[in-house]
Structure 1
Amino acid sequence: MLAMARAYRAAGHEVVLAVSDLNAARFFFSGDDFPLLQAPVLRITQHPAAHQGAALNFADLLWRLGYADPVALAAATEAWVALLAQIDPTLLVYVNAPTAVLAARVRCTPTLFVGGAFDVPPTLTPLPIFREAVDPSVQELAMLREAEVTENINSILSRFQQPALKFLGELFPAEQVRLTTLPELDPFGSRLQEQYVGPIFALPAFHRAGWKNTGAGTRIFAYLHPQAPACESVLQALNSLEAEILCVMPGCPPQWPASFDRIAFYAQPLELAFLLPRARLVITSGVATTTTSLLIGLPVLSVPRTLEQHVVAHALAQTGAAKTVEGGASVESIARDIGELLEVPNYRQAAVQIAMKYMVVKFENNAQLLVGE
């Protein structure tokens, strides 16, 4: 969103940001001097029944985050309506803000979604299940969630004399969606109506580092979160390798650099343009790092932590350019996966095919192109 905000301002537009975390926004947007407003928060007053495991689909995700509570949803929507009335925007550009979209529909404010595929569902019903193999009872529960969420949204639209949704995905019209990912990484499968614009890069590099070994040795780049279930096992497997390993890990436990002394740890993001072209493998949880790796033809070992990362990792595995580490994986099995990704040429070939497909696309111009639409 930083790239989009800068591009809109450069084109002569006034940009106002409504954010959920003002502290984080002031850090990432420091020096840009955009007006920052506190985004309304959906606070649940009627907690839904206890549920186990990850969300079933996009509707169930909304249901768990407060769309099961019509009172809380109405309060949050009304707060967004008031905020939009105060700003009176010509256009609402959003990512992962469904209640803002609902308020914009109430006010008939034009909207544009710019973000990852996980954050906006496909325009169809019933919505896809996040997992592959599910029994009929799970499918039925997911459909019930979708019906309940749609009903709660329609009750608000009715209160403001706006047409009801025929199905939940209609809240996010395909013509208003710009997906900042590759079709290969869309957890819902490649879409026919929505437009894929690819990644949008904005944040400057925080630190520059280089490989010590500039010869023919094996170089592995990792960007991991210490709370990923398999993180410590991955580090154990890496530490046993005859390879140069750089690992970006914000929040790294203080004892880990000494425990895994063959790995060079960094607490801040690194300039990938100086590292990835000389690497042979990337190990990461993040969707952005995965995308960057594929665009230069590098295979990936995915270590997912969040639901989004899990479903994207599944899509990524289907490309043949990656393998996925699950939470209970042993150090031995992780070491085998790393060995296969390094030695079996099919993984690299699949990644190179993806890179060649997009080699003529200039993703760095995406923000300006979207502003100019």
Structure 2
Amino acid sequence: MATIALIWELGSDYGHIGRFLPIALELKARGHRPVMILRDISRADEMLGRHGIEYLQAPLWLPPVQGLPAPINFTESLFLFGFLQPAGLLSVLRAWRAVLALLKPDLLIFDHAPTALLASRGLGLPRLVTGNSFAVPPRRTPLPLYEWWNPKAGAPQRELDCEERLLRNANHALSALGAPPMTCVADLYDAEVTHITGAPELDVYGPRDAACYVGAINALDQGVEPRWPAGPARRVFAYLKPRYMHFDAVVTALARLDASVLVFAPGLARQNMLRLQAANLAFSTEPLRMRSVREQVEMAVCHAGGMVDVMLQAGRPVFLLPMQMEQTMTSRRVDELGCGLFHIAQQGPRELEKGLKRVFSTPAYAEHALAYQQRNANFTQAFAMERMIGGCEALLANAAR
């Protein structure tokens, strides 16, 4: 039996746990001991407890970093998570190494975990890097820009200066640990195996080596069966964050559609549910079984996270409400493919309702989503799991030899 650490460090919500869960269950079924090391354990017992999956709290950089401009690439984003301060970075690396020393894993799997990756350099443990395309930046120097659509986004000297500064800080910490240095920031993602859980067409940085892609992995069969409100035959699902600045406006716009609408908004106060529900719109207080949901809907509304993969795999168009850069990058790709539209919050609620109605009423979006599904039919979850588990078993076998 091998102990396998599944590590998530950056990002919010529970898509990372949802991606890890099928992998952990399959590893456990094969006699291994999967242990998740998680950024957020607030819902870990709810999601993992009944499966008997162990979990630990990840060491994290907590102090807010003030005074920096908005990041233009992933290098600058890392400055927000300890890479700006060598002494503080070293503290987090030592904490990661202490956790790994206690756990004694035989294999490390990283999903959006750059500090843990840095800490594991030189330990001699086999490593598998996974995650969506944003979480696995291309191996370029400097790392690619976020806003590829913006001709004014580039700042060559700034990009080089940030590359050099991060490299200097990281190597200072690595030297203190007696670990091998990096020659560029992209070396952070050195690993024996890299699996991007997505398809090339949705890569936020643009397509790269086709062998990297395995297709999306999601916990499709967790949660309860959807219960749709009575009303029109057409169905729309929405996964919304109550903190979204136009939350009331989008729910009101959904209620105006000639559709039966089901909304999952985790953390929404009951009084707000009662205030916003309508004859054709209901809220679910529990996570839903997404395999059923995507088979029953004609479109979905979300913030452009993992739900995009879930819906496009089923040929369902999407209306997207990005709240941060990664979601904006994904939204741009979906728009280019013609599989949906997105709404930037600064546009205001009136434009939001127009875009929602356009996706709902224009057959071309559904047609493009079905075409996407057909083009990417090989990227099934079964294929992704086969590649993922096969990679794990191969690394363990190599380590044993």
Q: What TM-score results when the alignment is normalised by the length of structure 2?
A: 0.84
Which stretch has the larger CA shift, 311-320 or 205-214?
A: 205-214
TM-aligned CA distance change 1:274 to 1:39, over 3 Å: closer
Equivalent residue runs for 1:203-352 within 5 Å? 204-211=221-228, 217-253=233-269, 254-261=271-278, 262-352=280-370
Shift of 1:10: 1.8
Q: 2:116 aligns with which of 86, 94, 100?
A: 100
1:31 maps to what in 2?
50
Which residues in structure 2 correspond to 1:110-259 (within 5 Å)?
A: 110-131=126-147, 132-133=149-150, 135=152, 138-173=155-190, 176-192=193-209, 195-202=212-219, 204-211=221-228, 217-253=233-269, 254-259=271-276
Contact 2:220/2:289, CA 8 A, preserved across alignment:
no
Amino acid at match of 2:343: V
After superposition, give the CA deviation of every residue in 1:175-217 in whole Å (9 maximum; x if it has no partner): 52211122222211112266111111336432212445697x4
Cα separation, partners in 2 of 1:326 and 1:260, compared to 1, 3 Å: farther
Q: Does structure 1 retain, via aligned residues, the 8 Å contact 2:107–2:125?
A: yes
Q: Report the Cα distance in structure 2 between the residues aligned to 1:358 and 1:223, rounded to whole angstroms.
A: 24
Aligned mates of 2:45, 2:272 — CA distance in 1: 31
Normalising to structure 1: TM-score of the pair? 0.89
Q: C-alpha displacement at 1:361, in angstroms? A: 4.3
Q: How does 1:4-43 map onto structure 2 within 5 Å?
A: 4-43=23-62
Alignment-derived partner of residue 371 in structure 1: 389
C-alpha contact 2:108 2:128 (8 A) present in aligned 1: yes
Give the 3 Å change call, closer, same or farther, for CA 335–17 of structure 1 in structure 2. Answer: closer
Q: Can you give the 5+ residue segments of structure 2 that lack an aligned partner in the other structure?
A: 1-19, 392-401
Residues 214 and 368 of structure 1: CA distance in aligned 2, closer, same or farther (over 3 Å): farther
Deviations 1:250-293 (A, max 9, x none): 12242344334242111222223333334222111142221111
Distance 1:15 1:223 in 2: 29
- Does the CA contact (< 8 Å) of 1:130 and 1:311 recur in 2? yes
Q: Is the 8 A contact 1:43 1:72 kept in 2?
A: no
- The answer on whether the counterparts of 2:121 and 2:180 sit within 8 Å (CA) in structure 1 is no
Q: Read off the aligned partner of 1:64 and give its amino acid letter.
A: L
Instruction: Give the aligned residue type for 2:346.
Output: G
Q: Percent identity?
A: 27
Equivalent residue of 2:143, what SS? Answer: coil
- The structure-2 alpha-carbon separation of the partners of 1:265 and 1:211, relative to structure 1 and needing over 3 Å to count, comes to closer
| Count of matched residue positions in the alignment of Structure 1 and Structure 2 | 369
Partners of 2:39 and 2:290 lie apart in 1 by 29
Indicate yes or no: 2:85 matched with 1:66. no
- Matching residue of 2:14: none
Provide the C-alpha distance between the structure 1 equivalents of 2:113 and 2:179, rounded to a whole number of angstroms: 20
Alpha-carbon separation, structure 1, partners of 2:295 and 2:153? 46
| CA–CA distance in structure 2, aligned partners of residues 211 and 201 of structure 1 | 23
Over 3 Å counting, the alpha-carbon distance change for 1:240 and 1:60 in structure 2 is same
Deviation, 1:137, is: 7.3
**1:179/1:194 contact within 8 Å kept:** no
Q: Which moved more, 1:249-258 or 1:74-83?
A: 249-258
Q: Deviations over 1:44-89 (max 9, x none)?
A: 5xx755134x422111111111110100111111222222233332
CA contact (8 A) 1:198 1:363 kept: yes
Distance in 2 (alpha carbons) for counterparts of 1:155 and 1:333: 49
Letter of the structure 1 residue corresponding to residue 298 of structure 2: R
Residue type at the aligned position of 1:111: R
Tell me what 1:81 maps to: 97
Query: What letter is aligned with 1:32?
Result: H
Residue 13 (structure 2) aligns with? none
Question: How far apart in 2 are the matches of 1:311 and 1:350?
Answer: 19
Determine if contact 1:299/1:351 at 8 Å carries over to the other structure.
yes
CA–CA separation in structure 2 for the residues paired with 1:21 and 1:137: 34
Cα 1:33–1:276 change in 2 (3 A) is: closer
Aligned residue for 1:275, secondary structure, equals helix
Residues 130 and 136 in structure 2, CA contact (< 8 A), matched pair in contact too: no
In 1: Cα distance, 2:191 partner to 2:93 partner:
22
Is residue 2–residue 203 contact of structure 1 (8 Å, CA) maintained in 2? no
| Contact 1:231 1:303 survives alignment (8 Å) | no
CA deviation profile, 1:157-185 (whole Å, cap 9, x unmatched): 33344432221112113752211122222
- Which deviates the most, 342-351 or 72-81? 342-351
